[in-house]
Chain A
């Protein structure tokens, strides 16, 4: 348990960070705001991935699938059916929740490696469906949306998503639900024996974890005004999500937040300065993270006693 003094520091720190994020659009230029917008998107993705894979141990390589479904749902509703952008985004989230409920049932019966590559496969199926179902998705041509015009609104909504995703992880992690999820991760059979309704909890985690990429995907589509199958269903999105969460520390509340910000900031710098070397450097970076700090930054800080080992973190 954190000591009272540390707690106060943490709260003040969080409030300060919140204030900076809220006030940012008024002091920074459009490039910075867009950059932070994207960082917040990665935080949302990483936190929601963490909810499933960090806490239940079911590693999903298919996060991009939900992102893509969300992006396309919103895009199609906004362009072909003239829905309001925020309604489209909500519908995108709902679509992903429904999809997760349908797919989760058979998928969560798979263990370890099977689950990981099954989700990868499903994500790729999403890409192929988007490419082939031309009457609805316009196939490889992609969908162009009307320009957003309101960078501020987009930014604040993404900020809200990031906060909600992380808050959700915090609430669950510090609750009995979180303990049960951890039990599933550590030893699912034992958890069942002890009376944890594993299927229900796994499905819950899976569904909640699918909601956010759906919403974020829809918002991303609206903000960037153009999507195509290769971009929004890209496996790189899944991997970057995982790498972000791992870099910070999967299975912790703030690890993915930290990791998402740091890793994607680094990726942005690399991309700007070495566009051709990007896959080389990014791949190398991931390998380095995996070999040198598999527990992430949080684990490192906790090991050195700089942070308490608490579920609240």
Chain B
């Protein structure tokens, strides 16, 4: 039954394509989760941090032909430092204050960054055509850009996971997320942990941006769409859960791919929101969430 096989093959291809992209989404979502976990701040500017990473990779590639993967060597530390700077100058002032304050502050930052990007680099769509074509694995054609993005994203995610799980500093981060006051009492320098968390979250967002630049178009407002996806993922996986964010990201990637395949890309966009609203109304703590 050739028809059925072809159908199954197409489906498998779509699902895998979604999984590949999902890993990149995971970078963004885990970073957002980390920031929220440690500081209880919802970083609305997170999408713009992704956008900055995308532009960094774009300019490095366009001006000096730097391979996007290699560009990460520059982008990661640069974004980390940017994150630390933003935390020290802006975010730290609103930690502990009512939610509205931090939401508005990060929204203002988001607007500001979009404006800066618009003025510096115009609204023109950019792309990084570094990897093209696909490789065939077991009858399935996989886009090379996505495969590379997947591998790198997975590597970074595993590195961060290892850091949080095994290293002393990582455990301090987790401790601060669980209970800031007790962490303080235990002698953890909470202020430094916040700096680290925001820097790390920013670096991950930047990395996601770098990888996405190879797959999607780059433009100043690109961050907003991805931010909503990150929200959907966090809500799905549960605010505060690393593993939940990762699984949620993969799930979203697959759901989007399937929706795009079955209907069109606009509906695929709506998938993130549908999941988001659906989960919030039905099970606010998410699949693996930590009930507050």
Q: Are A114 and B228 in contact (CB under 8 A)?
A: no
For residue A132, which residues in chain B have a CB less than 8 angstroms away from its CB?
266-267, 270
Residue B277 lies at the interface, judged by CB distance under 8 Å to chain A: yes
Known A-B contacts A117-B42, A117-B231; A242 and B104 likewise in contact (beta carbons under 8 Å): yes
Q: Are B105 and A290 in contact (CB under 8 A)?
A: yes
How far apart are the CA atoms of A109 and B99 in the complex, in Å? 17
Q: Are A53 and B107 in contact (CB under 8 A)?
A: no
For residue A242, which residues in chain B have a CB less than 8 angstroms away from its CB?
100, 104
For residue A281, which residues in chain B have a CB less than 8 angstroms away from its CB?
115
Give A46-90 as 1s and 0s: 1 = Cβ < 8 Å from B's Cβ atoms. Answer: 000000010000010100000000000000000000000000000
Count of A interface residues, CB-CB < 8 Å: 45
Q: Are B99 and A112 in contact (CB under 8 A)?
A: yes
Smallest distance from the beta carbon of A130 to chain B beta carbons, Å?
A: 12
Count of B interface residues, CB-CB < 8 Å: 42
Q: Are B108 and A107 in contact (CB under 8 A)?
A: no
Chain A contacts with B in 259-305, Cβ cutoff 8 A = 276-287, 289-291, 294
Q: Are A239 and B273 in contact (CB under 8 A)?
A: no
For residue A59, which residues in chain B have a CB less than 8 angstroms away from its CB?
99-100, 103
In this complex, the member of A114, A279, A294 whose beta carbon has the largest number of chain B beta carbons within 10 angstroms is A279
How far apart are the CA atoms of A243 and B103 in the complex, in Å? 11
Q: Are A124 and B104 in contact (CB under 8 A)?
A: no
User: Majority SS of interface residues in chain A?
Assistant: helix
How far apart are the CA atoms of A131 and B273 in the complex, in Å? 14
Q: Which of B93, B228, B239 sits near A121, CB closer than 8 Å?
A: B228
How far apart are the CA atoms of A117 and B277 in the complex, in Å? 9
How far apart are the CA atoms of A90 and B10 in the complex, in Å? 50
Give B100-138 as 1s and 0s: 1 = Cβ < 8 Å from A's Cβ atoms. Answer: 110111011111111110110000000000000000000
How far apart are the CA atoms of A294 and B98 in the complex, in Å? 10
Residue A106 lies at the interface, judged by CB distance under 8 Å to chain B: yes
Smallest distance from the beta carbon of A233 to chain B beta carbons, Å?
A: 12
Q: Are A282 and B284 in contact (CB under 8 A)?
A: no
Q: Which of A113, A116, A125, A289 sits near B270, CB closer than 8 Å?
A: A125
Q: Are B93 and A287 in contact (CB under 8 A)?
A: no
Q: Are B273 and A279 in contact (CB under 8 A)?
A: no
Residue A110 lies at the interface, judged by CB distance under 8 Å to chain B: yes
Residue B150 lies at the interface, judged by CB distance under 8 Å to chain A: no
Residue A128 lies at the interface, judged by CB distance under 8 Å to chain B: yes
Residue B276 lies at the interface, judged by CB distance under 8 Å to chain A: yes
Residue A118 lies at the interface, judged by CB distance under 8 Å to chain B: yes
Residue B64 lies at the interface, judged by CB distance under 8 Å to chain A: no
Q: Are A284 and B108 in contact (CB under 8 A)?
A: yes
Q: Which of B97, B114, B266 sits near A131, CB closer than 8 Å?
A: B266
Residue A122 lies at the interface, judged by CB distance under 8 Å to chain B: yes
Q: Are A250 and B115 in contact (CB under 8 A)?
A: no
In this complex, the member of B94, B104, B232, B277 whose beta carbon has the largest number of chain A beta carbons within 10 angstroms is B104
Residue B147 lies at the interface, judged by CB distance under 8 Å to chain A: no
For residue A235, which residues in chain B have a CB less than 8 angstroms away from its CB?
224
* Nearest chain B residue, comparing its CB with the CB of A288: B108
Q: Are A290 and B277 in contact (CB under 8 A)?
A: no
How far apart are the CA atoms of A236 and B107 in the complex, in Å? 10
Q: Which of B108, B267, B269, B284 sits near A114, CB closer than 8 Å?
A: B284
Q: Are A283 and B269 in contact (CB under 8 A)?
A: no
Q: Which of B108, B235, B292 sits near A286, CB closer than 8 Å?
A: B108
Q: Are B118 and A276 in contact (CB under 8 A)?
A: yes
Q: Are A283 and B276 in contact (CB under 8 A)?
A: no
Known A-B contacts A121-B273, A125-B270, A132-B267; A283 and B100 likewise in contact (beta carbons under 8 Å): no
For residue A290, which residues in chain B have a CB less than 8 angstroms away from its CB?
94, 101, 104-105, 108
Listed A/B pairs (5) with beta-carbon separation below 8 Å: A107-B281, A121-B273, A132-B267, A276-B118, A278-B115
- With A235-B224, A239-B111, A280-B115 given, can you name 9 additional A-B contacts, CB distance below 8 Å? A110-B280, A114-B239, A120-B231, A121-B273, A243-B104, A279-B112, A287-B108, A290-B105, A291-B93
Binding site for B on A (CB under 8 A): 53, 59, 61, 106-107, 109-114, 116-118, 120-122, 124-125, 128, 131-132, 235-236, 239, 242-243, 246, 250, 276-287, 289-291, 294
